[in-house]
């Protein structure tokens, strides 16, 4: 697997798009910092961008890489390697090269600006960690879609739909649901609904850092416990890990049963 990973990674970090992606984050980070002159504000703005963008890029890169390397995958399948290793290797190649672009692209301007000597360092690290998780999750979801969908155009369509659903539509329905059932106790429901969407989950993790003062304004005991103690942090991270492991597991499961 490591061999496949190595070559996928090499292949990808030499692609023009990796550099475009890297350059985008470099630019975004620098512009935010040097225009705002305020680390906290830059982190907040960055969060708005990242929570939406990393899933999109992860989805698109994942699906494109899978489809474009399909014939090559067939060549690999005829080699004496375990199937699961091929797909895990390719998946990790994509996911890690995207994460590398992200971390380097955002790392350089913030380190240059002195994030290590600032109080915003934990907010910033949380941001990078969740962004990496989102990349891992959505690349895995994209691979899942690609493995289950032979038709590229359809697969691409499903992937974009998935992103649109998770990033926007889900929250719309969620909010609608909350307003419609506002007479009922909704604490557990709203936390549960948050867990079902990795984008929402990542947002909550960042909110725990940036907006804890507002979150503590809610009266309910469940929220108090969730946001007021480490429980929220632990549960969110655990579920995020489940969100990463499940699609990866399904990549292995599906790829072991698929005909090429």
User: In terms of CB distance, is 188 or 238 closer to other proteins?
Assistant: 188
- CA angle 79-80-82, nearest 5°? 105
Quick check: 197 and 236 in contact, CB under 8 A? Answer: no
147 binds other proteins (CB under 8 A): no
Q: Which of 144, 194, 236, 244 binds other proteins (CB under 8 A)?
A: 194
Q: Which is nearer to other proteins, 51 or 92 (CB)?
A: 51
Which among 66, 68, 64, 67 has a CA at the least distance from the CA of 88?
A: 66
Q: Site mask, other proteins, residues 42-71, x = CB under 8 A?
A: --x--xx--xx---------------xxxx
231 touching other proteins, by CB under 8 A: no
DSSP letter for each residue of 190-245: HHHHHHT-HHHHHHHHHHHHHSHHHHTT---HHHHHHHHSTHHHHHHHHHHHHHHH
Return the residue of 217, 225, 238, 253 that touches other proteins, per CB under 8 A. Answer: 217
Please give the sequence-ordered ranges of beta strands (E in DSSP) within the chain, or none if there are none: none
Q: Which span sits near other proteins by CB under 8 A: 100-108, 137-145, 216-224, 234-242?
A: 216-224
User: Looking at beta carbons only, is 92 or 200 nearer to other proteins?
Assistant: 200
Cβ neighbors of 209 (< 8 A, separation 6 or more) are: 122, 123, 126
- 125-144 residues in contact with other proteins (CB under 8 A) are none
Does residue 120 sit in helix, strand or coil? coil
Q: Contact between 150 and other proteins (CB under 8 A)? A: no
CB of 117 to other proteins, least distance (A): 19
Number of residues that bind other proteins (CB under 8 A): 70
Our finding on whether 81 is near other proteins (CB under 8 A) is yes
Query: Around 133, how many Cα atoms within 13 Å sit in the side-chain half-sphere?
Result: 27
Q: Measured from the CB atom, is 18 or 132 closer to other proteins?
A: 18
The dihedral through the CA atoms of 258, 98, 156, 194 has a sign that is positive
Q: Pick between residue 108 and residue 199 the one whose CB is nearest to other proteins.
A: 199
Q: How far is the CB of 183 from other proteins (least distance, A)?
A: 10
**Interface with other proteins includes 252 (CB under 8 A)?**
no
Whole-number Å distance between alpha carbons of 83 and 85: 5
CA 44/CA 8 separation, integer angstroms? 33
Q: Measured between alpha carbons, how far is 41 from 110 in angstroms, rounded to an integer?
A: 13
- Residue from the set 11, 108, 118, 152 that interacts with other proteins by CB under 8 A: 11
Q: CA–CA separation, 251 vs 245, rounded Å? A: 10
Q: Which residues bind other proteins (CB under 8 A)?
A: 3-4, 7-8, 10-12, 14-15, 38, 40-41, 44, 47-48, 51-52, 68-72, 74-83, 167-169, 171-172, 174-175, 178-179, 182, 186-187, 189-191, 194, 200, 203-204, 206-207, 210-220, 223-224, 257-260
């Amino acid at each position: 697997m490591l061999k496949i990973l190595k070559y996928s990674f090499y292949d990808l970090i030499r692609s023009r798009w990796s550099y475009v992606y890297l350059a985008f984050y470099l630019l975004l980070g620098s512009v935010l910092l040097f225009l705002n002159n305020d680390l906290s504000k830059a982190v907040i703005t960055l969060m708005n961008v990242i929570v939406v963008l990393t899933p999109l890029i992860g989805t698109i890169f994942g699906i494109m890489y899978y489809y474009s390397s399909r014939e090559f995958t067939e060549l690999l399948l005829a080699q004496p390697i375990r199937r699961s290793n091929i797909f895990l290797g390719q998946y990790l190649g994509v996911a890690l090269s995207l994460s590398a672009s992200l971390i380097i692209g955002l790392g350089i301007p913030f380190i240059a600006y002195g994030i290590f000597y600032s109080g915003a360092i934990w907010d910033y690290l949380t941001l990078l960690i969740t962004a990496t998780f989102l990349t891992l999750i959505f690349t895995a979801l994209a691979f899942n879609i690609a493995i289950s969908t032979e038709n590229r155009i359809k697969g691409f369509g499903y992937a974009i739909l998935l992103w649109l659903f998770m990033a926007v539509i889900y929250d719309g329905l969620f909010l609608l649901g909350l307003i419609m059932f506002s007479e009922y106790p909704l604490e557990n429901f709203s936390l549960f609904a948050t867990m079902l969407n990795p984008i929402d989950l990542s947002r909550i993790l960042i909110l725990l850092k940036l907006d804890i003062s507002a979150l503590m304004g809610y009266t309910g005991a469940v929220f108090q416990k969730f946001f007021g103690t480490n429980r929220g942090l632990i549960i969110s991270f655990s579920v995020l890990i489940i969100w990463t492991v499940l699609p990866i597991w399904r990549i292995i499961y599906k790829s072991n049963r698929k005909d090429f």
